[in-house]
């Protein structure tokens, strides 16, 4: 059975003390349900070591928002997948639309990041999603198909550790959520692509998350769709009660 996941992406929010407070509140209030329902927190790097410790005896998994394409070396300011592993990180975002747009990350770079993470037993949460123009022009399947190309270069064994997040760019941070039907349509398309490029069993076991203005008030409807296996949550992950309510909607 595929895992259901709610992953919080704090982006560049929360100073050190604020991050600790939020993490402590999560630890205190989180009531894990079934073992295949997972809460993941992806904080900024400054929080990684402290949160690793805070989450160590809990069922909350630590994630990260980025890693470098190399394992070590003269890359001032960067963090490697091996460093994340040393803090027990289990997930890492790859190809978030903000990184594609602001840091010009291309498919080659995203592939290298996936390889680094997989070599360190960290599950990539691979993000894809179209711009508003693509949707208006009816080109969104083509855009997503291009973005997914990165994943078909992975071996089947590696691919099975990947989580996919569909995040329509027009819904990120805008308050405009995709309807559950719109999300389901794309998720079903992504799963069909996985079935075609990998195989049907792998497709059935792949977790596909929705992201883009997902909050407690719309999570139940989104998660009720058969191909929506959870959410990647930005703004709503900054408040413990809100992200926990989203988790409880799984």
- Kindly tell me which of 114 and 165 has the beta carbon lying closer to ligand PGA: 165
| Closest residue to ligand PGA in the complex (CB) | 234
Measured over the CA atoms of residue 125, residue 121, residue 41 and residue 14, the dihedral's sign is negative
Whether 96 is a known active-site residue: answer: yes
Strands, E assignment, the chain: 4-9, 37-42, 61-64, 91-94, 123-128, 163-166, 208-211, 230-233
Where does this chain bind ligand PGA (CB under 6 A)?
A: 9, 167, 172-173, 211-214, 232-236
Out of 96, 105, 109, 130, the active site residue is 96
- Examine the residue annotation and report whether 47 is marked as an active-site residue of this protein: no
What is the CA angle 178-244-174, rounded to 5?
30
* CA atoms of 205 and 220, how far apart (whole Å): 21
Question: Which residues touch 48 (CB under 8 Å, ≥6 apart)?
Answer: 62, 64, 84, 87, 89
What the block records as the tokens of 17 is: 């003390």
**In the bound complex, what is the minimum distance in angstroms from residue 7's beta carbon to ligand PGA?**
8
C-alpha angle 84-25-247 in degrees, rounded to nearest 5: 75
List 78's β-bridge partners, or say none: none
Q: What is the rounded CA–CA span in Å between residue 249 and residue 230? A: 9
Residue with tokens 């309807």: 179
Active site residues: 96, 167
């Amino acid at each position: 059975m595929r895992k259901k996941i709610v992953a919080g992406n704090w982006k560049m929010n929360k100073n050190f003390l604020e991050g600790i407070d939020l993490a402590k509140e999560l630890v205190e209030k989180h009531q894990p349900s079934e073992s295949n329902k997972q809460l993941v927190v992806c904080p900024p790097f400054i929080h990684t070591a402290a949160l690793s410790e805070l989450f160590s005896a809990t069922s909350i998994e630590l994630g990260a928002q980025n890693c470098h394409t190399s394992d070590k070396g003269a890359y001032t300011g960067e963090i490697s997948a091996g460093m994340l592993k040393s803090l027990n990180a289990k997930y890492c975002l790859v190809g978030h639309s903000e990184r594609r747009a602001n840091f010009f990350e291309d498919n080659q770079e995203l592939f290298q990041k996936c390889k680094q993470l997989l070599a360190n037993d960290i599950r990539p949460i691979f993000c894809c999603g179209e711009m508003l123009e693509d949707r208006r022009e009816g080109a969104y399947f083509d855009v997503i198909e291009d973005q997914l190309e990165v994943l078909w270069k992975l071996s089947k064994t590696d691919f099975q550790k990947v989580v996919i997040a569909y995040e329509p760019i027009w819904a990120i941070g805008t308050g405009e959520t995709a309807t559950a039907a719109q999300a389901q349509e794309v998720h079903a398309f992504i799963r069909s692509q996985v079935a075609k490029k990998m195989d049907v069993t792998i497709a059935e076991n792949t977790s596909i998350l929705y992201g883009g203005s997902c909050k407690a008030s719309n999570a139940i409807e989104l998660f009720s769709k058969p191909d929506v296996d959870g959410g990647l949550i930005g703004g709503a992950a900054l408040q413990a009660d809100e992200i926990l309510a989203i988790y409880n909607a799984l």
